[in-house]
């Protein structure tokens, strides 16, 4: 293949970004697959993300030894040596303010998304391009696809957002109104600032040149003045205001073909947006695939690469390869013993039997029948919370789709953070723990700050609450309130004899010895006294607390 390094890509305000271009040898025009982001087009996967590289190599030792040297592999983007031989041009662009591209570093900002639009149009007009550009990539490289596709660049022909959020507020940074700090505060210095354009202290080196991948060094003062205060912005914007609205793509403006891939083990970043993007896109040709395992693993597995290529062969090359006949929805149905893939025609599944389980404070059980008496159970907000369990399943039971809880609560303070965790346990009492996108994970999770309990009536559904997050409504201490909690979608075949458990607590759920990444513990957001005190769950009678499950019949 032909490899062109640091190719200039002009954008609308006169700035020039830098890209690496990989294209087939010989004459011809080829479709383009592109990624535009800030992890460094010249940072090798193994250099930037060594633990993930080592794990991937251990899980699949032959993954990068057949048909590729792995020399050009970059974090969360396609391997050019795997794609170019099949007739694609691969373009990887350093976004504004990162790597070799100068400018003000402001991740996922409207200016960055406009740059992406301009880069797509540049690629679509090159002499080696057939005029059709497809986008593909994980996480950062997925969210930006949703955003730029909503701008409708003329040369954009298809997108493959792989595990990437859509709603800047609800999907990633303000779960239930609670600031998701654990990932954000670590991500900014470790994965972004280290790759800021002009960072002479970066640990990254371009393997081709041995030089820093960030271009000529700038002074610390200039670096600081040339970037946004990323974490500070989230703290200054606790509600869904104009700052979030200009960063929230409108999926109804997306009209190109979409292959959206989410991860059941990605509560907190890599699931909700893929489902909402699929449901909300105006595209006539759209597919949803939800898998399990780590997010960097699935993207590179041969079966998924083949799926990605078939999609682009159809919509970038115009091949009649039968992709239109693929099931519009394909799900990995998890179980304690592995998972199986299954095709469906819609999501949520039309045959879903929505089943409400009533919480009982006295027995700590969840059953279809309401408890005989009203009850209440309290826990310390900083403590380990309270569990409600189903009896052992009488038969194999599939739970696939949206999950929610309606709780009656009271607090000894003026607010209350609720962390709802859906868990599964075997007959021997051992917990079912899954390999998630980022960390080992339970069945699913949900969050809500009680002062954000107001729903968005236009977006909420009977089986799925969506909160407005447009005002703060504090609690009167000791008074009871009804709140609805969105627990992220899930899929689980629960065998006979297993139990489902709902854990309610006032802080992040973490397994012993396994600190989570998707934490919510910033002192400016969670350190105030209203998030201490005593929390109470009321059950039965006029204050019935319930868990709504999507049961899939045989």
**Domain boundaries, given as residue ranges, for the chain:** 2-162+178-252, 353-552
What residue has token string 């979409």? 258
CB 286 within 8 A of CB 149: no
**pLDDT score, position 284:** 97
φ, ψ dihedrals at 358, nearest 5° = -90, 130
Give the relative orientation of helices 140-149 and 272-280 as an angle to the nearest 10 degrees.
20
Per-residue pLDDT reduced to its tens digit, 361-415: 999 999 999 999 999 999 999 999 999 999 999 999 999 999 999 999 999 999 9
Reported as a pLDDT band with limits 50, 70 and 90, residue 473 is very high
CB 386 within 8 A of CB 537: yes
Q: And the tokens for 341?
A: 């893939």
Residues 279, 488: Cα–Cα separation, whole Å: 15
Residues 514, 521: Cα–Cα separation, whole Å: 16
Ramachandran area for residue 401 (φ above 0: left; ψ -120 to 50: alpha; else beta):
left
Per-residue pLDDT reduced to its tens digit, 485-517: 999 999 999 999 999 999 999 999 999 888 788
Q: Rounded to whole angstroms, what are the CA distances from 433 to 84, 291, 441, 512, 548?
A: 38, 16, 6, 12, 22
Architecture label for domain 2-162+178-252 = 3-Layer(aba) Sandwich (3.40)
Please, where are the H alpha helices in 49-95?
Answer: 50-59, 80-83
Q: Average pLDDT in the 199-219 region?
A: 95
Equal fold, 2-162+178-252 vs 353-552: no
SS3 (DSSP) at 174:
strand
Which runs of E-coded beta strand occur in 139-247?
Answer: 156-162, 174-175, 178-179
What is the DSSP code string of 281-299?
A: ---SSEEEEEE-S-HHHHH
Per-residue pLDDT reduced to its tens digit, 79-128: 999 999 999 999 999 999 999 999 999 999 999 999 999 999 999 999 99
SS3 (DSSP) at 130:
strand
**pLDDT score, position 65:** 73
Per-residue pLDDT reduced to its tens digit, 161-185: 999 999 999 999 999 999 998 888 8
Higher confidence at residue 547 or residue 70?
A: 547
| Proportion of the chain in helix, strand, coil states, percent, rounded to 5 | 25, 30, 45
Per-residue pLDDT reduced to its tens digit, 318-372: 999 999 999 999 999 999 999 999 999 999 999 999 999 999 999 999 999 999 9
Reported as a pLDDT band with limits 50, 70 and 90, residue 70 is confident
Q: Rounded to whole angstroms, what are the CA distances from 48 to 36, 142, 203, 418, 537?
A: 17, 19, 9, 35, 45
**pLDDT score, position 430:** 97
Reported as a pLDDT band with limits 50, 70 and 90, residue 297 is confident
Predicted TM-score (pTM) of the model is 0.96
Specify burial of residue 266 (Cβ count, 10 A radius: 0-12, 13-18, 19+).
Answer: buried
Statement: residue 246 has pLDDT above 80: yes
Residues 68, 438: Cα–Cα separation, whole Å: 26
**pLDDT score, position 481:** 98
CA 532 from centroid of its chain's CA atoms: 29
Statement: residue 198 has pLDDT above 90: yes
**pLDDT score, position 439:** 86
Statement: residue 61 has pLDDT above 90: no
> Of 2.60.40.1180, 2.30.30.30, 2.60.120.260, 3.30.565.10, which CATH number belongs to 353-552?
2.60.120.260
């Amino acid at each position: 293949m032909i490899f062109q390094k640091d190719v200039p890509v002009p954008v609308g305000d006169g700035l020039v970004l830098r890209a690496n271009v990989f294209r087939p040898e010989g004459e011809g025009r080829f479709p383009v697959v592109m990624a535009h982001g800030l992890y460094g087009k010249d940072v090798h996967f193994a250099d930037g993300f060594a633990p993930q590289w080592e794990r991937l190599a251990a899980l699949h030792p032959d993954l990068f030894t057949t048909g590729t040297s792995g020399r050009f592999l970059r974090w969360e983007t396609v391997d050019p040596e795997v794609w170019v031989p099949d007739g694609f041009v691969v373009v990887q662009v350093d976004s504004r303010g990162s790597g070799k591209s100068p400018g003000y570093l402001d991740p996922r900002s409207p200016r960055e998304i406009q740059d992406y639009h301009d880069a797509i149009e540049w690629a679509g007009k090159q002499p080696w391009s057939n005029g059709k550009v497809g986008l593909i990539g994980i996480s950062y490289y997925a969210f930006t696809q949703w955003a730029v596709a909503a701008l409708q660049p003329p040369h954009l022909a298809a997108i493959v957002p792989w595990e990437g959020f859509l709603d800047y507020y609800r999907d990633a940074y303000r779960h239930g109104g609670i600031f998701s700090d654990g990932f954000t505060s670590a991500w900014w210095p470790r994965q972004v600032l280290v790759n800021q354009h002009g960072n002479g202290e970066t640990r990254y080196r371009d393997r081709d040149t041995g030089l820093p991948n960030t271009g000529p060094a700038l002074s610390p003062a200039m670096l600081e003045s040339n970037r946004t205060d990323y974490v500070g912005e989230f703290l200054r914007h606790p509600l869904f205001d104009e700052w979030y609205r200009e960063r929230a793509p409108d999926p109804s403006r997306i009209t190109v073909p979409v292959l959206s891939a989410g991860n059941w083990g990605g509560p907190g970043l890599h699931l909700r947006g893929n489902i909402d993007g699929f449901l909300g896109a105006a595209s006539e040709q759209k597919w949803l695939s939800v898998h399990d395992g780590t997010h960097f693993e699935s993207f590179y597995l041969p079966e998924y690469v083949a799926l990605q290529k078939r999609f682009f062969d159809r919509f970038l090359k115009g091949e009649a390869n039968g992709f239109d006949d693929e099931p519009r929805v394909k799900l990995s149905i998890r179980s304690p013993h592995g998972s199986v893939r299954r095709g469906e025609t819609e999501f949520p599944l039309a045959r879903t039997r929505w089943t409400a389980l009533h919480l009982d404070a006295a027995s700590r059980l969840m059953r279809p029948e309401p408890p005989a008496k009203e009850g209440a159970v309290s826990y310390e907000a900083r403590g380990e919370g309270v569990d409600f369990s189903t009896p052992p399943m009488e038969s194999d039971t599939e739970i696939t789709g949206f999950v929610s809880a309606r709780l009656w609560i009271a607090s000894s303070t003026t607010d209350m953070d609720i962390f709802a965790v859906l868990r599964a346990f075997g007959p021997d009492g051992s917990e079912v723990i899954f390999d998630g996108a980022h960390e080992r994970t339970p069945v699913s999770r949900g969050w809500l700050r009680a002062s954000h309990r107001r729903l968005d009536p236009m977006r909420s559904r009977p089986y799925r609450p969506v909160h407005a997050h447009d005002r703060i409504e504090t609690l009167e201490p000791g008074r009871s309130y009804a709140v609805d909690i969105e627990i992220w979608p899930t899929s689980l075949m629960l065998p006979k004899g297993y139990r489902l458990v709902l854990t309610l607590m006032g802080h992040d759920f973490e397994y012993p010895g396994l600190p989570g990444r998707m934490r919510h513990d910033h002192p400016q957001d969670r350190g105030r006294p209203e998030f201490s005190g005593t929390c109470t769950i009321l059950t039965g009678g006029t204050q019935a607390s319930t868990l709504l499950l999507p049961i899939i019949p045989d």
